[in-house]
Amino acid sequence: MSEAVAHGHLDDGQRGHHPRLQHQFDDLEQQFESSKLGMWLFLVTEILFFGGLFMAYTLYRIWYYDAFVAGSNELDITLGALNTAVLIFSSLTMAMGVRSAQLGHRKALVNWIILTMILGMVFLVVKGFEYHHKYVMHHIPGAYFQWDGVNGNQVQIFLSIYFCLTGLHATHMVVGLGIMTWLLVGAIRGKYSPQWYTPVEIAGLYWHFVDIVWIFLFPMLYLVNRHAH
């Protein structure tokens, strides 16, 4: 049996409900921690989502190492490294943004979000250049694939995995930019405060995760045995 509490703290009007407190939660802290846990659980699904592709990569790297070397060396290491730096920088700006929200610095938050978005867009533009180069070279897997050299089929597998991994990552970046836009609008309108900045926190978690995926993709795809060349 349970004892019903006569004055449940949920019903205590003297607490004063923050307009952002949803009815199913007792207080903002519970809501914040729940939202963070929810986002982390979603990110765990993302780990496993990319994980399937990581498994495909691992298998074919073992089986077709030479083809992976050839394919990897076709990628532009400068652009790849640049993009890595861009994303790491964007993680810094995002972390700074969350910090601004924690401190209630509205203008700083807006600026950090804008900076993060610019860096994200730079990443996508660079990626676009790389994809275009692949298109011109007929290195896109499928009906029009051409490869001068041996192991064409196996290189095509490498490139399939390359496009799936980077394409999936880029899709997540685009979604991330969408989230940032929404966040920016909210920040400009002054929606966030030190008492309630949950969307900034969980958007930040998402953004950092997308950065982490690239941290793995860069060496996996761009740095397979560069020393022979």
Least spacing, CB of residue 38 vs another protein, in Å: 5
Q: Site size for another protein, by CB under 8 A?
A: 91
Candidates 15, 17, 66, 103: give the one binding another protein (CB under 8 A): 103
What track of x and - describes contact with another protein for positions 125 through 164 (by CB under 8 A)?
----------------xxx---------xx-xx--xx--x
Query: Could you give the CA distance from residue 51 to residue 31 in angstroms, rounded to a whole number?
Result: 30
Taking CA 205 as the corner, what is the angle to CA 204 and CA 211, rounded to the nearest 5 degrees?
A: 90
Least spacing, CB of residue 129 vs another protein, in Å: 19
Query: Could you give the CA distance from residue 120 to residue 170 in angstroms, rounded to a whole number?
Result: 10
Enumerate residues 190-229 that contact another protein by CB under 8 A.
194-195, 204-205, 208-209, 211-212, 215-216, 218-220, 222-223, 225-228
Enumerate residues 29-58 that contact another protein by CB under 8 A.
29-30, 32-34, 36-38, 40-56, 58
Least spacing, CB of residue 218 vs another protein, in Å: 8
Amino acid 196 reads W
Query: Which among 186, 203, 222, 205 is positioned nearest to 71, based on CA atoms?
Result: 222
Candidates 3, 13, 16, 136: give the one binding another protein (CB under 8 A): 3
Least spacing, CB of residue 54 vs another protein, in Å: 7
Buried residues in 139-152 as b, exposed as e (16+ CB within 10 A): bbbeeeeebeeebe
**Binding status of residue 174 toward another protein by CB under 8 A:** no
Query: Which among 133, 138, 166, 169 is positioned nearest to 152, based on CA atoms?
Result: 138
Q: Is the dihedral of CA 218, 50, 183, 205 positive or negative?
A: negative
Candidates 21, 79, 95, 188: give the one binding another protein (CB under 8 A): 95
